């Protein structure tokens, strides 16, 4: 009798764990598609905006260079933004730097 109850309990536990495993894997693709962009997708969006009105071969070359560019370090980004902000003062500079550094 005890063996039978033990076997039944083991079968029940196995079934429950199988269902939990199946549900976890069923929901995984939904979580990935929930809207969180990958780094590559984010980079593609940024390059697309920067490409502006470029067309044809010019756009293709720009996108290739933009997407293959390595990410700048925060220090390099700060240097570039500072150089680009030359001549701006006060709130205009602050606003520009905030936008530049967050890009």
pLDDT, tens digit only, all 103 positions of the chain: 656 665 555 555 555 555 555 555 454 444 445 567 787 888 888 888 889 899 999 999 999 888 887 777 888 889 989 999 999 999 999 999 998 888 7
Long-range contacts made by residues 52-56, C-beta under 8 angstroms, separation at least 24?
Answer: none
- CA pair distance 100, 83, nearest whole angstrom: 11
Q: Are residues 1 and 29 in the same domain?
A: yes
Long-range contacts made by residues 35-44, C-beta under 8 angstroms, separation at least 24?
Answer: 43/67
Torsion on CA atoms 42, 76, 52, 90, rounded to nearest 10: 110
Which three-class secondary structure state does DSSP give residue 36? coil
- Give yes or no for a contact between 23 and 12, defined as CB atoms under 8 angstroms apart: no
Q: Are residues 48 and 26 in the same domain?
A: no
Domain limits at 84?
A: 72-103
Q: Are residues 27 and 43 in the same domain?
A: no
- Give yes or no for a contact between 48 and 62, defined as CB atoms under 8 angstroms apart: no
């Amino acid at each position: 009798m005890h063996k039978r109850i033990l076997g039944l309990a083991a079968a029940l536990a196995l079934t429950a764990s199988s269902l939990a495993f199946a549900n976890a894997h069923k929901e995984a693709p939904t979580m990935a598609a929930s809207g969180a962009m990958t780094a590559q997708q984010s980079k593609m969006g940024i390059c697309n905006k920067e490409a502006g009105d470029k067309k044809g071969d010019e756009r293709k070359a720009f996108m290739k260079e933009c997407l293959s560019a390595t990410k700048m370090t925060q220090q390099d980004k700060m240097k570039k933004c500072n150089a680009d902000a030359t001549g701006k003062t006060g709130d205009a500079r602050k606003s520009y730097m905030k936008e530049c550094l967050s890009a």
